[in-house]
Structure 1
Amino acid sequence: MHYLRSRIMEELDISHLTEKLMHGKGESSAPALTPKEKYDTWEKIKILSFTRTVSSIWAMTLLSLYVRVQVTILGRHLYLDFARVTDGAQLQEGSDTFSKSGHKDFLATADYLATYGINALITKMQHAATEILKEKQLKDPMGIDEVLETILQILKQFMGLCEDNSWINYLVPENANVYAQLMAVSSSGFDDSSLLKDVRKLDQLMSETRIVLSRNIMDRSLKKIASVVVEDLAVQIGAPIPPPGLPLAKLLAKVAQLSLPLLEEPDKNKHIQIIRSMPEVELFYTFLYANMPPET
């Protein structure tokens, strides 16, 4: 999660834009910004602030669900392998083969989002945010409920842009052979085909994961986390926001900061704990372990 956080903060850094606004006010030797330059800078801050937080909501939620899917699928495979084998020697051999050929490599795909998928995710999320926010002016009042609705609209727009569940490609490698090649290059520093392993088991596990992720369990989790995030925003603001709300420009800094707690390490991340404790999520994984994913 630490690397994912650093990637999102790096790709969606807003500090240079806020500094540009400060310098443009004449607080430095830099020339003052023209009205158009000031407007364009604020518009970029608006888009990036929401993109950063909504990307963090999506990435944290999906990665949390993905890791649990991995563990559940592996557990079911191990159980079935043990159940099918009756001879002690065959049991040991089958267990070792599974562990070495698929177990470690499959679990390592949890890093795929932060390492390879994050740039494409951010680009698509920024397109979604731009579309939803284009009619929202900086002076327009916005209340807490409207912030939540805006976040949910961006998430919906993002998923709509990802045709045929293509968002799964941000989390799970499309091709086991290509992924194995990437890992070989990463570990050796050069393209060494001798480091490639038999990827049949990895390919099987990845295929099963893609099927499971294509189900609808994430929608409820995303909505739940979005609600919690907006509750945190209300706490940050402190005093109740009088209707019809605060100017959007005054909310942007706080919206951007909402991304930080979302990407805390799992043992300190209340959002991950909330997802894990959702009854529908627990039920989903119970059925998944039994190889009967429910329709949701």
Structure 2
Amino acid sequence: MLSLSDFWRRHRRKIFITTGVLGGGYLLYKLYDSQRRIADLDRQQCEHDELLKAQMQAHYEEVQRIADATTLPHAMHYLSIRIAEELDLSPLTDKLLRGKEQPYTLSSSEKLELWDRLKILSFTKLVVALWAVTMVSLYIRVQVNILGRHLYIDTARGLGSSDLPEDADLIDRDDQQKFLASVDYLANYGMQAMISNVQAAADEALKGAEYTSVVDMSFKAAVDALIDEMRVQSGGSLISGMPLAKLVPRVVQMSPSLLAEPSNNRIIQVIRTIPEVELFFTLLYANMSDS
């Protein structure tokens, strides 16, 4: 017992130092191990976030492709048919041609009346087609982005993803079909009212000395693109003082091209590439409510 007490007195300082060194080393190891674990968790979280971003980006691009390749062509084709039915100019042009070939079949007042009707309806058809293309292309993209986001959430939930809000609602197939079917509202129910309003505006504008957020910007860009295209087709001779007699045939000729296949439709491509429009749909897809 005395020897143990003597040993403790002689080596107490060394024992304290050794214990302190070992304890400090252990604490440093635990601190290092903790930092390493935190770093590994952060790295895994970053990798997971990058994977989610890549998946979201790929899904967003796929949604835009579906809008261009599937939904938009169907809507544009049906819209083209409805506009052609509601604004058929062939009876007026046929009467004017017969009057030209057989001068005595139409009086001067009748020719003037037919010409005025053709003039107003030609510009009405052009504006209706241009406005319909602008509205339908934007509306379809809003639809497809909203639906695409919900489908992404549904798919991720089905795969057991934990990165989803618990209150996110599911959309069944019937609701999807009803949602997409609403794009035909303009062609089925709103066409007559739209034509009536545009025709009244065209009638009022053509009587005067001058032609007088995202939708306005898109429509303006579409109008600018249309004017550029008409200028190219006229060999650069399109000016503000061009007689209506020369301008109306070009207007009649260009109206159907506004409703062409989306992949070949310059107006739709112009609208799609407007930076503000691209940003609008990116934010719509990213920030849309999940419920």
The answer to whether the superposition gives a TM-score over 0.5 is yes
Q: Find the aligned partners of 2:218 and 2:168 in 1 and give their Cα distance.
A: 34
Q: What's the counterpart of residue 24 of structure 1?
A: 99
1:8 maps to 2:83: yes
Q: CA offsets per residue over residues 239-292 of structure 1, 9 Å max, x none?
A: 525x66321122101012221211012122122122111111011112212337
RMSD: 2.9
Is the CA contact (8 Å cut-off) linking 1:78 and 1:95 kept in structure 2?
A: no
- Structure 1 residue 97 displacement after superposition: 5.2
Q: CA offsets per residue over residues 102-132 of structure 1, 9 Å max, x none?
A: 2121012122222222122111111111111
Q: What's the counterpart of residue 116 of structure 1?
A: 189
2:127 to 54, 64, 78: 54
2:177 to 98, 104, 126: 104
Q: What's the counterpart of residue 250 of structure 2?
A: 254
Residue 98 of structure 1 aligns to a residue whose secondary structure is: coil
Q: Find the aligned partners of 2:77 and 2:141 in 1 and give their Cα distance.
A: 18
Which stretch of structure 1 is more off in the superposition, 40-49 or 110-119? Answer: 110-119
Q: Find the aligned partners of 2:204 and 2:178 in 1 and give their Cα distance.
A: 38
Residue 252 of structure 1 aligns to a residue whose secondary structure is: helix
- TM-score under structure 1 length normalisation: 0.63
Residue 287 of structure 2 aligns to a residue whose secondary structure is: coil
Q: CA offsets per residue over residues 138-170 of structure 1, 9 Å max, x none?
A: xxxxxxxx7xxx3xx3xxxxxxxxxxxxxxxxx
1:73 maps to 2:146: yes
Q: What's the counterpart of residue 68 of structure 2?
A: none
Residue 246 of structure 1 aligns to a residue whose secondary structure is: coil
* 1:101–1:244 distance in 2 versus 1, CA, 3 Å: closer
Q: What's the counterpart of residue 281 of structure 1?
A: 277
More helix by share: 2
Is the CA contact (8 Å cut-off) linking 1:51 and 1:125 kept in structure 2?
A: yes
Residue 238 of structure 1 aligns to a residue whose secondary structure is: coil
Equivalent pairs: percent with the same residue? Answer: 50
- Structure 1 residue 19 displacement after superposition: 1.7
1:225 maps to 2:222: yes
- TM-score under structure 2 length normalisation: 0.64
- Structure 1 residue 236 displacement after superposition: 1.8
Q: What's the counterpart of residue 236 of structure 1?
A: 233
Q: What's the counterpart of residue 33 of structure 1?
A: 106
Q: What's the counterpart of residue 42 of structure 1?
A: 115
Is the CA contact (8 Å cut-off) linking 2:146 and 2:285 kept in structure 1?
A: yes
Is the CA contact (8 Å cut-off) linking 1:217 and 1:281 kept in structure 2?
A: yes
Q: CA offsets per residue over residues 185-214 of structure 1, 9 Å max, x none?
A: xxxxxxxxxxxxxxxxxxxxxxxxxxxxxx
- Structure 1 residue 100 displacement after superposition: 2.1
- Structure 1 residue 20 displacement after superposition: 1.3
Q: What's the counterpart of residue 15 of structure 2?
A: none
Segments of 5+ residues of structure 1 without an aligned counterpart are 137-145, 154-215
Aligned residue runs from structure 1 range 97-176, under 5 A:
98-135=171-208, 150=211, 153=212
Segments of 5+ residues of structure 2 without an aligned counterpart are 1-75
Larger radius of gyration: 2
- Structure 1 residue 47 displacement after superposition: 0.4
Which stretch of structure 1 is more off in the superposition, 263-272 or 30-39? Answer: 30-39
Q: Find the aligned partners of 1:265 and 1:113 in 2 and give their Cα distance.
A: 18
Q: What's the counterpart of residue 264 of structure 1?
A: 260
Q: Find the aligned partners of 2:207 and 2:123 in 1 and give their Cα distance.
A: 12
Residue 237 of structure 2 aligns to a residue whose secondary structure is: coil
